[in-house]
Amino acid sequence: MLEADVAQALVEARHGDPFAVLGLHTDAAGALWLRVLNPQAAAVSAVVGGQVVAPLTARGDGLFEGRLPGKARVDYRLKIQWAAGGEGEYADAYAFGPQLSDDEIRRLRDGNEARAFEILGSQPVTHGDVAGVRFAVWAPNARRVSVVGSFNAWDGRRHAMRLRHDVGVWELFVPHAQAGDFYKYELIGADGHLQPLKADPYARSTELRPETASVVAPLPPKRRLPPGRAEANRRDAPISVYECHPASWRKGRDGGFPTWEELANTLPAYVAGLGFTHLELLPISEHPFDGSWGYQTLGLFAPSRRFGPPEQFEVFVQACHDHGLGLLLDWVPAHFPTDGFGMARFDGTALYEYQDPKEGFHRDWNTLIYNFGRSEVRSFLASSALYWVERWGVDGLRVDAVASMLYRDYSRPSGEWVPNHHGGRENLEAIALLQHVNEVLGREAPGAITVAEESTSFPGVSQPTYLGGLGFHFKWNMGWMNDTLRYIHEDPIHRRYHHHQMTFGLVYAFSENFMLPISHDEVVHGKGSLFDKMPGDEWQKFANTRAYLGFMWGHPGKKLLFMGQEWGQRGEWNHDVGLPWHQLDDARHAGVRRWVGDLNALYRGTPALHRLDCEAQGFEWVASHDEESSVYAWLRHDGQGGSVLVVCNLTPVPRHGYRLGVPSTHGAWREVLNSDSEHYGGSNVGNGPQALAVQALAAHGRSHSLALTLPPLATVFLVPA
C-alpha cells in the first residue's frame, strides 16, 4: 500500500512525479500494484483481457489502489463507475511511457528547432488501439504541471504530467481526449504557488473571446506555395498590396464578425478586381482584445476564432490563390500582452519575457517583450513564422514593430534601459532572432517573403544575412510616408516652401528594397483618412487624393494601401464598424477607385514602373526644382529600353506648354493615364490620346524636350508613342 504522505501529496496535487506512483508498479516482493487517481470516480476495477481481475480499494479523495494477480506486467484497462452515474472502460494515462522521442528532445535542447509546433502543444495521436491526445508544454521551473480540460472535469489532480528534465518540458498522453476538446495547463510555480490556468502557447485553436481555453486541433498538412508565387514575390516584380482588417472590411451576415467563408466569397475577388497583386491582413492570430487590432496576440499558432473554425482559414487562403493574389499576414514577434491566462510568468518565472522590466516591459503598449536571446523563445517565434507559411500556405509575413525590437532604448528615457554587452543600444539578441527567422523561411519555404515595418535608419534591413543584413525582402519606407503626407497636407499656396519633402526620399530610395506604405496607422487616432488630410474644397480634396496616389504609384518602391483609401474614404477607420461602402454611391469616390484600379493595371503591365523599383538605374529626375510651380517630373526605366514619364502638378493652376527635357531616343510620347480625367471625377484637362512630338529644344539639361499641358492638382503618365 502507498505510504500515507505520498498518497496525501497525490490527492493534494503536490506530487512532482506522478508516474513514480500511479499506474502499474511492482513492489519489493515482485507483486503488481495498480494505483489510480480519479476524484470523479465512485469505484474503479482493473480489467485484463476483457475481464475484471481486481477491484481497487478506495483510499479516499479519489485515490484507488489494489493488487493484481500474478507478477507479469499486463495490458490493462480501467472500469470506472462514475459518482455522477454511469460507467465505462478506459485506458489509463499512466500506462503509457514517455511521449517525446530522444530525437525530439535533442532537437528542442539544441534551441534551433524550426518546427517546435510538431513537438509541443496538443497532438491527436494513437498508441496501439487507443486514440487520444499528446500534450507537451515547456515550463522548466514549475514544480507540477497538469493538463486540465473538458475531458477530466478541469481537475488538476487527474492528469499530472511527466517532466522531461533535459529540456524542461512536461508531457502526457491522455487517452480518449480528442480534437475539439477544451484544455489549459495548471501549474504550481517555482515559488510553490498555484498559477492561474494557462492557455497553451502552441495551441492551434482557441475558444472565442472572452473565453480563453485552448482547443485540441490536428496539425494542418504541409502546403506548397502555388506555382509562380516565388516569381510574383521577387524584387523586380510588380507588388501592390491591399492592407485589410478583416473584422471591419465588411461585417458578416449577422452584423458581427464575417466568417472565413464569407470573406473568401468577397474579399479576394474585390482586391484582385482592383488589380492589387497581394492582400495583407492585420494580425489574425488569436488575441484577447479587439481594440488591439490583433497586434497584442497570445495565439501565435491559432487563426482567430472570431472568423469561425480555424480550418475554414484554408478556404480563404485558397480563394486568394485562385484569384492570383499573394496573401501576407501581419506577424507580431516583438511583444505580447500581460493577461494572466497567457505567457506572462508562465511557470512562475519570467519565461517567455525578459526578467528585468527595463528589458521586458513595453511602456508604449503595456505589454511584455520576448526574451529574444533564450533558445526556447527563439524556437517558439521561428516556428510560428514557418507555421503560417508551411502549414497554411500564406505567401509571406509583414513583421510588426521591428524598430522596437532592434533598440534596447526604444521609447525609453536615459537610465531606463539596459545596454548590450558591448555597452551599445542595439538589441543583439533580437537582431540574431530576426536573421534566424528569415534564414529559416528562406531555407524551408523558398518563395515566401518577409516585409519589415522598421521606422529608423537601421542599416541593411533588406540585405541578405550573409552580408550582415537582417534578411528581409522588403522594408516599409516610413520616411517617405511621413514626408509626403506632411507635404500633401499643406495648402497648395504654401507647398513651394516644402518642395523638398517630396524629393528627399530619392536620396535614400535605393538603400533598401522599399515598400511605400499608406497603412492603417495613418488613418486612425485623430490623423484623419487620406482624403481628410487633403486641403481645399471638395473638388481639391478629390483632386489631391488622386494626384497623391498617382505620385505614389509612379514613385520607385512597392505599394501598400489600407482598405477604404482606394476610394478616398471620408472619416477615420473605425475597427468597430464596417467600411462606409455607401460612400461609393458618390461618383467622385467611385472615380478614385477607378483611378486606383487603372494605376494598378499600368503598374503591373509596364515593366518600367516595377522592374527596377529597387535599383537606382530605374529612376531619373527630369524636373525636381520647380518650387514655384510645385511640379515634379521623372522618368522610370525598365533597363531594357522601356520608359515612362511621370509628371505631377500639385497646384490647382493648369499649366499649358510646360516644357520638360526628355531623351532624344523617342520621337514622341503619349499620355496613358491622367488623374484629372473626367473618368475619375476630374476637370478633363490634359493632353488627349494623340502623340506629342519631341522637339529639338533644350530643357532641363537635355537637347530635346516635350511641351505638355499639366492639369491642375494632377498626376499624368506618358509612354513613348
Helix (H, G, I), strand (E, B) or coil at 73: coil
| Residue 484 · residue 551 · CB < 8 Å | yes
Give the DSSP letter of residue 653: -
Q: At what angle do helices 587-605 and 538-554 cross, to 10 degrees?
A: 10
The phi and psi torsions of 174 (rounded to 5 degrees) equal -105, 105
| Cα–chain center distance at 88 | 45
Q: Is 12 a catalytic residue?
A: no
Residues 63, 65, 68, CA angle at the centre, nearest 5°? Answer: 160
The phi and psi torsions of 426 (rounded to 5 degrees) equal -75, 140
- Distance (Å) of CA 82 to CA 43, 63, 527: 7, 14, 62
Partner residues linked to 26 by β-bridges: 32
Helix (H, G, I), strand (E, B) or coil at 22: coil
Q: Is 319 exposed, middle or buried (0-12, 13-18, 19+ CB in 10 A)?
A: buried
Give the DSSP letter of residue 494: G
Parallel, antiparallel, or unpaired for β 668-674 and 692-693? antiparallel
Q: Is 454 a catalytic residue?
A: no
- C-alpha torsion angle, residues 676, 677, 683, 684 (rounded to 10): 120
Question: If you search the block for the grid coordinates 525636381, which residue do you land on?
Answer: 624
Active-site residue, selected from the candidate residues 330, 453, 566, 676: 453
Which residues, 6+ apart, have CB-to-CB distance to 331 below 8 Å?
283, 285, 384, 385, 388, 397, 398, 399, 400
Partner residues linked to 121 by β-bridges: 136
For residue 237 the three cell numbers come to 516584380
For residue 512 the three cell numbers come to 533598401
| Residue 516 · residue 505 · CB < 8 Å | no
Separation between Cα atoms, residue 308 and residue 550, nearest integer Å: 38
Q: Is 92 exposed, middle or buried (0-12, 13-18, 19+ CB in 10 A)?
A: buried
Residue 254 belongs to what H/E stretch? none
| Residue 450 · residue 441 · CB < 8 Å | yes
Active-site residue, selected from the candidate residues 400, 483, 522, 566: 400
Parallel, antiparallel, or unpaired for β 87-90 and 121-127? unpaired
The phi and psi torsions of 649 (rounded to 5 degrees) equal -115, 110
Which residues form the catalytic set?
400, 453
